[in-house]
Chain A
Amino acid sequence: MTLTIDLFAQLGDDAGQSRLRADFPDGLNAGAVYDLLALSYPLSLSRAQVRPALNDEFTDWDAPLADGDRLALLPPVSGG
């Protein structure tokens, strides 16, 4: 399955890009995708520090993903 992954703030700096498209094995959940990304990029935040969003809505790490999904990885927020 092909995923679009948005990496915000610190994670975008860590990966050297704020959006990437990549192929992943079918059936992976969001957490497994994060762990795979952390093998390829020097992500400085642990999964416990990051919140996932799927297709513009908050989700959980155990959320199953499908071809064409957009997964966003959100560091701790700091607006306001």
Chain B
Amino acid sequence: MSMTPQLTGPPRFELSAEPLEPQIRAGRLPGSASGAVVTFEGLVRDHHEGRAVKGLSYQAYPALALKEGQRLLDEAAARFPLTGLYVVHRTGDLALGEAAVWIWAAAGHRREAFEAASWVLDEIKSRVPIWKLEHYADGERAWVACHHGPAHPGPARHGHPHDHEARP
């Protein structure tokens, strides 16, 4: 008899206006069918395209961000053999080094957990209605506008070259 991995609970997508440390430290119970847990934290870093960054703010469209976030997690759960999946995305003002997004993916084996966490992050970046406002050291601020949902994929559509993968 082969065991099919079961989610220990439904996938959950949340927004948090508070620092993510409490949720992270609270931990999750991966369940005994889990052989691997991959945790990803996207952090606020001090530079973007050569400009010094002193902090950033995330604005969300909460009602739709929660719906779309939950949809993509449900898709991930159907796509990967996961035993647990939990995401929290920050809103509001973040200081350098703070976690902007936290992804927790548990699976029977490490490969699925890694792949699911990476897939979920890419989907968040491309479809969840959340926007990043960067505050620069020189006092200026600017909305970062890079992604336009699944209907308009690919860096060629953005018109400005930079490293999307390295951004939190």
Is B130 interfacial (CB 8 A cutoff)?
A: yes
CA distance A58 to B152 in the complex (A): 15
Binding-face segment, A23-31, A33-41, A71-79: A71-79
Is B77 interfacial (CB 8 A cutoff)?
A: no
A37: shortest Cβ distance to chain B, in Å?
Answer: 17
Contact between chains at A10 and B67 (CB < 8 Å): no
Neighbouring A residues of B129 by C-beta, 8 Å: 8, 53, 74, 77, 79
Write out, one digit per residue, whether chain A residues 5-19 have a CB within 8 A of any chain B CB (1) or not (0).
010111001000000
Tally of chain B residues near chain A (CB < 8 A) = 34
How many interface residues does chain A have, given as a range? 10 to 19
Most chain A CB within 10 A, of B58, B60, B68, B129, is at: B129
Contact between chains at A77 and B143 (CB < 8 Å): no
Contact between chains at B61 and A51 (CB < 8 Å): no
Q: A78-B130, A80-B125 in contact; A51/B149 too (CB < 8 A)? A: yes
Is B3 interfacial (CB 8 A cutoff)?
A: no
Neighbouring A residues of B128 by C-beta, 8 Å: 77, 79-80
Write out, one digit per residue, whether chain A residues 33-64 have a CB within 8 A of any chain B CB (1) or not (0).
00000000000000001010100111000000
B139: shortest Cβ distance to chain A, in Å?
Answer: 16
Neighbouring B residues of A77 by C-beta, 8 Å: 125-131, 147-149
Is B42 interfacial (CB 8 A cutoff)?
A: yes
Neighbouring A residues of B60 by C-beta, 8 Å: 79
CA distance A79 to B100 in the complex (A): 9
- Chain B residues numbered 117-163 whose CB sits less than 8 Å from any CB in chain A: 121, 124-133, 143-149, 152
- Chain B residues numbered 36-59 whose CB sits less than 8 Å from any CB in chain A: 42, 58-59
Query: Which residues of A pack against B, CB within 8 Å?
Result: 6, 8-10, 13, 49, 51, 53, 56-58, 72, 74-80
Query: Which residues of B pack against A, CB within 8 Å?
Result: 42, 58-61, 63-65, 67-68, 89, 100-101, 121, 124-133, 143-149, 152, 167-168
- 25 A-B pairs in the complex with CB atoms less than 8 angstroms apart: A8-B59, A8-B61, A8-B131, A49-B148, A56-B67, A58-B64, A72-B64, A75-B131, A76-B147, A76-B152, A77-B128, A77-B130, A77-B148, A78-B125, A78-B131, A78-B132, A79-B58, A79-B60, A79-B65, A79-B89, A79-B125, A80-B42, A80-B100, A80-B125, A80-B167
